[in-house]
Amino acid sequence: MGQTAAADIATIGRISAVPAILQVIREMTGLRFAAVARVTEDAWTACAVLDQLGFGLQVGGELEVTTTLCHEIRQAHRAVVIDKASDDPLYRDHHTPRLYQFESYISVPIFRTDGRFFGTICALDPNPAPLTSSTIQSTMESFARMLALQIESEENQQKTEAALIQEQEAGELREQFIAVLGHDLRNPLFAISAGAEMLLRKFPDPATDKLVRHILTSARRATKLVNDVLDFTRGTMGKGIPVIIEPCPDLEGALRHVIAEIQSVHPDRSIVASIGDLRGAQCDRERVAQLASNLVANAVAHGDAAGSVVVSARIDQGTFVLSVKNQGQIAEQVLPHLFRPYSRPSHDTPQAGLGLGLYIASEIAKSHGGTLEVVSNAEQGTIFTFSLPLRR
């Protein structure tokens, strides 16, 4: 069986109305064999069958097309209706009724919506039946038109699903490529950073220290970009950002280090820290520090330069709460899209980075089983809040 025939059989098999159509034909006509057939120049192929005769033909079964009346219907594009073949002047000497031993027969053509011939809906029985003087032919022709529409609908759906699967596979390959590339880039970047640090520590030279520090800063920035791409890939591939949740007695120190690091890069900005007693916190220390770093860096980059960035962390009624506030305001229409990849305010001047900071922060929150929310208005400014119920 050719691939096209198999595809057509599968298409007919997905149309839930076909068995009911054949049953209605059976009850209307009294004929005990009915089928939907795909008919080409070379083959007659059963796509759906209702057999109460023991005819022996199943779905996928084929007949020599020239032995069937459907071959003539394909050429003439007209229905054939026979009440009693042995008395019919056109068919009493025809080879098909004798070969398949039927007296009564009806078959109507199925045309695709673009006019191409698909096949037939047919029925037969060894006993004669009054078919020509009834509405059976017009009813079956209506069924054929309905089938044509259903065939087109199913084929379009299959094409759409196939295109979607292809796009998903291509997307996964792209993400896997990014992940592999990211891993391969980290090794040389680590070597550059380590080499620059060693030069500054063991071979200080006022003539070259400024250049070495620039190399070290650039390598660290490139490493952060690579790490962001890897985290983005993990998130979009549905695997989530990996976290190890455990007691973090030094979480306060980690957060203060993040704040100090960003303050050193932006000495002209006011960053205020309000960190309470965090004993009892359970989280992935490095990932929460990364989340805090992304939020504070975002506040510095997009907040009002004249206002302060306020970072607070506390444990409140069994929940670890980290918030970052700045005096800027985010447009209401932007808020629903803020945690999507590559999201940036449309009015922003060009910024360094990939626009993944808030997306990655959101993914870190999800991986912890916590939430990351944002509120922005003229009165309060913009506040990002990470809430994590403590696990015991």
Please tell me the predicted confidence (pLDDT) of residue 350.
Answer: 45
Q: What is the CATH number of domain 246-389?
A: 3.30.565.10
Cα–Cα–Cα angle for 198, 185, 213, nearest 5°?
30
Nearest partner of 294 among 349, 361, 350, judged by Cα: 361
- As a whole number, mean pLDDT of residues 315-322 equals 92
- As a whole number, mean pLDDT of residues 32-48 equals 95
Question: What is the rounded distance in angstroms from the CA atom of residue 188 to the CA atom of residue 194?
Answer: 10
Give span(s): CATH 3.30.565.10, the chain: 246-389
Instruction: Kindly indicate the confidence band of residue 206, based on its pLDDT and cuts at 50, 70 and 90.
Output: confident
CB 338 within 8 A of CB 375: no
Please tell me the predicted confidence (pLDDT) of residue 105.
Answer: 97
CATH topology for 3-158? Beta-Lactamase (3.30.450)
Question: What is the rounded distance in angstroms from the CA atom of residue 288 to the CA atom of residue 295?
Answer: 11
Question: What is the rounded distance in angstroms from the CA atom of residue 28 to the CA atom of residue 20?
Answer: 12
Residue 146 has pLDDT above 90, yes or no: yes
Question: What is the rounded distance in angstroms from the CA atom of residue 39 to the CA atom of residue 109?
Answer: 10
Residue 222 has pLDDT above 70, yes or no: yes
Residue 111 has pLDDT above 60, yes or no: yes
Residue 139 has pLDDT above 80, yes or no: yes
CATH topology for 160-236? Helix Hairpins (1.10.287)
Residue 242 has pLDDT above 90, yes or no: no
Q: Pick left, alpha or beta for residue 34 (phi over 0 → left; psi -120 to 50 → alpha; otherwise beta).
A: beta
Mean residue pLDDT of the chain comes to 88
Model confidence pLDDT, tens digit, residues 182-192: 667 777 887 88
Question: What is the rounded distance in angstroms from the CA atom of residue 58 to the CA atom of residue 60?
Answer: 6
